[in-house]
């Protein structure tokens, strides 16, 4: 793209992603099977998936918070915490991702958690590994879709819980009797500032370090047992 060119970086153009998605859609159509597409980042990808769904193909798709929060302009400082694969895209692509979430083209939001050691990130941009330690900021960033009117509460829960469980055919993502008692309790009004020193993950590679956020998970229940409460894990 434009910024990879002016910054002298090896680019991954939109067509690289879109060509593979088009191929996989055609294979799914030919074989009458399902395909799940991860890391959707471009307007062209959203368009291809939308058109495939209109033909009633068994296509599901996900994106990640950084693809509807950040743009390629963030790369101007050569901060390797912004290096992901596929790369950050343009404002037009961000708008298309939001539209895809709104109209149901994109079924799910995944945190795309990719923690790395400091030695993997504190190198020249070309040699740094791709990825963001995204688990602990994913909820607050996704709640911005609620604040800006892109999604309703019900739709956001579906994107982050119900739909992923359905796609993977897991008895989760619902409070219905018989479902796994895996529950996240959130405080949607809690204001906090992302500080990688406080991350539970050993991966501190976050481009959102220092960002003011609203909304946080305050408790997790796994198999009916409280595993996390406040700022500590339960054994």
Query: Average pLDDT for consecutive 10-residue bins of the chain (235 residues)?
Result: 89 97 98 98 99 98 99 97 98 99 99 97 97 98 98 98 97 94 96 96 97 96 93 65
Identify the CA nearest to 130 among candidates 69, 64, 86: 86
Tokens 């305050």 found at: 218
User: To 10 degrees, the CA torsion angle through 166, 171, 174, 180?
Assistant: -150
CB 90 within 8 A of CB 75: no
Select which of 93, 107, 112, 182 is catalytic.
112
Count of beta carbons in the 10 Å neighbourhood of residue 22:
17
pLDDT of residue 163: 98
CA distances from 90 to 3, 14, 138, 184 (A): 9, 10, 20, 32
Whether the pTM exceeds 0.85: the reply is yes
HEC profile for the chain? CHHHHHHCCCCCCHHHHHHHHHHHHHHHHHHCCCEEECCCCCHHHHHHHHHHHHCCCCEEEEECHHHHHCCHHHHHHCCHHHCCCCCCCCHHHHHHHHHHHHHCCCCEECCCECCCCHHHHCCCHHHCCCCECCHHHHHHHHHHHHHCCCCCHHHHHHHHHHHHHHHCCCCCCCCCCCCCCCEEEEEEEEEEECCHHHCCCCCCCCCCCCCEEEEEEEEEEECCEEEEECCEECC
Domain at 2-173: CATH code: 3.20.20.140
User: What does the alpha-carbon distance between residue 170 and residue 67 come to, in Å, rounded to a whole number?
Assistant: 26
CB 207 within 8 A of CB 118: no
pLDDT of residue 233: 67
CA distances from 34 to 26, 52, 57, 168 (A): 11, 12, 8, 11
Is position 112 annotated as part of the catalytic site? Answer: yes
Structure tokens at 207: 């481009």
pLDDT of residue 230: 80
């Amino acid at each position: 793209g434009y910024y990879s060119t002016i910054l002298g970086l090896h680019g991954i153009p939109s067509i690289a992603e879109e060509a593979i998605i088009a191929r996989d859609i055609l294979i799914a159509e030919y074989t009458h099977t399902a395909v799940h597409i991860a890391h959707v980042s471009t307007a062209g990808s959203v368009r291809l998936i939308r058109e495939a769904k209109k033909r009633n193909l068994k296509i599901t798709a996900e994106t990640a918070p950084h693809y509807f929060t950040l743009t390629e302009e963030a790369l101007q400082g050569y901060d390797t915490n912004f290096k992901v694969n596929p790369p950050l895209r343009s404002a037009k692509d961000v708008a298309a991702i939001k539209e895809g979430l709104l109209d149901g083209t994109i079924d799910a939001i995944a945190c795309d958690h990719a923690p790395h050691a400091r030695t993997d990130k504190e190198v020249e941009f070309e040699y740094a590994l791709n990825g963001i330690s995204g688990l602990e900021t994913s909820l607050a960033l996704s709640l911005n879709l609620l604040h800006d009117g892109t999604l309703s509460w019900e739709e956001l829960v579906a994107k982050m819980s119900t739909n992923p469980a359905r796609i993977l055919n897991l008895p989760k993502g619902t409070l219905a009797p018989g479902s796994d008692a895996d529950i996240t309790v959130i405080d949607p009004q809690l204001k906090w500032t992302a500080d990688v020193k406080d991350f539970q993950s050993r991966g501190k590679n976050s481009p959102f370090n220092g960002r003011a956020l609203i909304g946080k998970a305050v408790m997790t229940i796994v198999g009916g047992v409280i595993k996390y409460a406040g700022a500590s894990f339960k054994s």
